[in-house]
Amino acid sequence: MAEMQEMPGHLARRFQQIAVAVFLSEVEAAGFDLTPVQYAALAAIAANPAIDQITLAGLIAYDRTTITGVIDRLAQKGLVVRQASARDRRSRELLITDEGRRALDAITPAVEAAQRLMVRGLTKAETNELIRLMQKAIAAGNDLSRAPLREGTAER
């Protein structure tokens, strides 16, 4: 374990580093300017209209304090709107705009290309196995981070 190259933690950092670089590169080549985090938030808002920020954070496993800035930037780009909830005046309902929907549709092929590119060194079977193992490790460690994934989508 003394070798850094065999430590899961180091490999996790490195793989994530490459994944982000590939994502940004593919998305920019497609003519868009969205980060992985912004894309995931936009996609989740599209699939869950009027979701509040805390629930959204749980869906994509973001820290609640991170989501504020992410939504700020999506709103500033005109891709989502943040409106006060009538039911609970503390919360903001998030909605994707028409422009956001168009951007999401247009960008998705680049995102999928990025997913393939970041595992280009692996066979299809190896890729599936990597996905399975990461899912399993993540499921076991879900509650160890401050921003665990939370199921229970829209029914709040």
Partner DNA sequence: CTCTATTGATCAGCATACTGATCATCAGTA
Partner DNA sequence: TACTGATGATCAGTATGCTGATCAATAGAG
Q: Are 111 and 23 in contact (CB under 8 A)?
A: yes
What residues between 73 and 102 interact with its own copies by CB under 8 A? none
Say how many residues touch DNA, by CB under 7 A.
33
52 binds DNA (CB under 7 A): yes
Tokens of 127: 């890729």
E strand intervals along the chain? 80-84, 92-96
In sequence order, what are the residues at sequence separation of 6 or more whose Cβ sits closer than 8 angstroms to the Cβ of residue 145? 61
Q: Are 154 and 48 in contact (CB under 8 A)?
A: yes
150 binds DNA (CB under 7 A): no
- Applying CB under 7 A, among 43, 48, 82, 149 the residue interacting with DNA is 82
Minimum separation from the CB atom of position 125 to DNA (A): 28
71 binds DNA (CB under 7 A): yes
Contact of residue 124 among its own copies, DNA, none (CB under 5-8 Å per partner type): none
Buried b (16+ CB within 10 A) or exposed e, 18-29: ebeebbbebbee
What residues between 1 and 20 interact with DNA by CB under 7 A? 13, 17, 20
Hunting for tokens 């401050």 — which residue is that? 146
Binding site residues, its own copies, CB under 8 A: 1, 4-23, 25, 36, 40, 43-44, 60-61, 111-112, 114-115, 117-122, 126-127, 129-131, 133-142, 144-147, 149
